[in-house]
Structure 1
């Protein structure tokens, strides 16, 4: 699929320093051992080897049943394998064992979002944004904004996108989503500020237009009275995304 992935469902695999397959050294504690097994599980998971990943995570849990990282790892494995009931069970165990872990709340929120459980997803994603040191906090705010939009809570969605951009100023999806919300509010000047920042990224070839960005551009230019620019975006939308929902909306709006 061309363009920007509009919502990263699934997980962000964390590379853990020091993991590997080295032999256990004399004097290494059981704590180090279960951590190594868990880290090895994430390595297998990144390689797509879910069988060995499961064995490694289970070994970690056998050694320490309260180790949240390993429960989170098994949740990711079962999510990838399509076993949603088991995935949810392990996500709940992980977040219960590590209630302050932004990563685990974000992963669980993404899982719930993927299964259309938006109310619950928003709650988990909101928990993920609470940690000011979470290295994916801007993404969590962005995901939260998209979640709120699906619940028609545009007021809090706007705040989430703004917070995303405060943390990371040039997140393309947040820029487009904020533009969209401001166009809905008939605020072309404010909307243009965000869309211009998105266009700068396009011009620098850091991102590409996608169906929604083009549809938002059409609506913004119509609001500004720039029919020529709107027509240009419409032509690109027609050529690149003729089967998209956004193109259908454009055709309906042009009747």
Structure 2
């Protein structure tokens, strides 16, 4: 479906470049619409990025910014792709350019905040997340709250739990926030609350390997060895090659 859409776009571009005939005379080509070309190349970049083809995506997006350097979305998506390719310096530059052009773009603020946190620029990252949250039209504020909490947690900032709770107020079924707050309460030794958050997560879907290991350990702390063994067996049988399964097999708990 995606390839077909790309093919149709390329065909449309080819048609607009053709020369038409009227009364036997050729009309000169009209000047290329660079803004539309930039939009199309940006969409192609998005499509390739969704397929994990980040090298091709970068080519399309660099072409888009050449065609229209004031197209904020092209810079924002290029920044994301550069992050995936490990070029954090280039990504930071593109995010700043995107936000200079569209300072109210909440999604770009959120994505930039994630990068800033990875770069260790915690205070600036927090400002980016808050800028995203300040936009009342932001469709997924729970994502920014969760990312803010992750960054705060990495910096041992006590506000982290509050941020995760804010995310869950907006969307009680937001699994990323449930996972993070379960890990936070587990690290704090609050087994009962960890168990409660993990059970909320389980109602929405199966636990990933890291949470299965936490769930098993939590049940042992709570004295339910049978439940702990069920989680351990699920981890080993369902994710045998995961780091958590390997860790469990190397260091099995007492029966």
The one of 166, 172, 175 equivalent to 1:172 is 175
Cα 1:52–1:245 shift into 2, 3 Å:
same
Q: 1:146 and 2:150 equivalent?
A: yes
The one of 130, 134, 141 equivalent to 1:130 is 134
**In structure 2, what is the equivalent of residue 16 of structure 1?**
none
Q: 1:46 and 2:46 equivalent?
A: yes
What does residue range 83-94 of structure 1 map to in structure 2 within 5 Å?
83-94=87-98
CA RMSD of aligned residues (A): 3.3
**In structure 1, what is the equivalent of residue 196 of structure 2?**
193
The one of the two structures with greater contact order (alpha-carbon pairs below 8 A, sep at least 6) is: 1
Deviation at 1:42, TM superposition (A): 2.3
Cα 1:188–1:161 shift into 2, 3 Å:
same
Q: What are the ranges of 5 or more consecutive residues in structure 1 without an aligned counterpart?
A: 1-18, 25-32, 203-207
**In structure 2, what is the equivalent of residue 248 of structure 1?**
247
1:112-135 per-position Cα deviation (integer Å, ceiling 9, x unaligned): 45x553625444334323323211
Cα 1:77–1:121 shift into 2, 3 Å:
same
Deviation at 1:225, TM superposition (A): 1.5
1:56-86 per-position Cα deviation (integer Å, ceiling 9, x unaligned): 232112xxx4x43333244345445544333
> Normalized against structure 2, the TM-score is what?
0.70
What does residue range 228-247 of structure 1 map to in structure 2 within 5 Å?
228-239=226-237, 240-241=239-240, 243-244=242-243
Moved more, 73-82 or 41-50: 73-82
Aligned mates of 1:35, 1:223 — CA distance in 2: 60
1:87-110 per-position Cα deviation (integer Å, ceiling 9, x unaligned): 221211222333332111122223
Check the 8 A contact 1:142/1:174 in 2, yes or no: yes
Cα 1:133–1:234 shift into 2, 3 Å:
same
Check the 8 A contact 2:42/2:73 in 1, yes or no: no
> Normalized against structure 1, the TM-score is what?
0.70
Check the 8 A contact 2:113/2:125 in 1, yes or no: yes
Cα 1:124–1:243 shift into 2, 3 Å:
same
What does residue range 201-212 of structure 1 map to in structure 2 within 5 Å?
201-202=204-205, 208-212=206-210
Cα 1:101–1:169 shift into 2, 3 Å:
same
Q: 1:60 and 2:68 equivalent?
A: yes
- Structure 1 or 2, whichever has the larger Rg, is 2
Deviation at 1:249, TM superposition (A): 7.5
Check the 8 A contact 2:191/2:222 in 1, yes or no: yes
Aligned mates of 2:99, 2:252 — CA distance in 1: 45
Deviation at 1:209, TM superposition (A): 1.9
Deviation at 1:221, TM superposition (A): 1.2
1:148-175 per-position Cα deviation (integer Å, ceiling 9, x unaligned): 222222x322112111112222122321
Classify the secondary structure of the residue corresponding to 1:132: coil
Cα 1:184–1:80 shift into 2, 3 Å:
closer
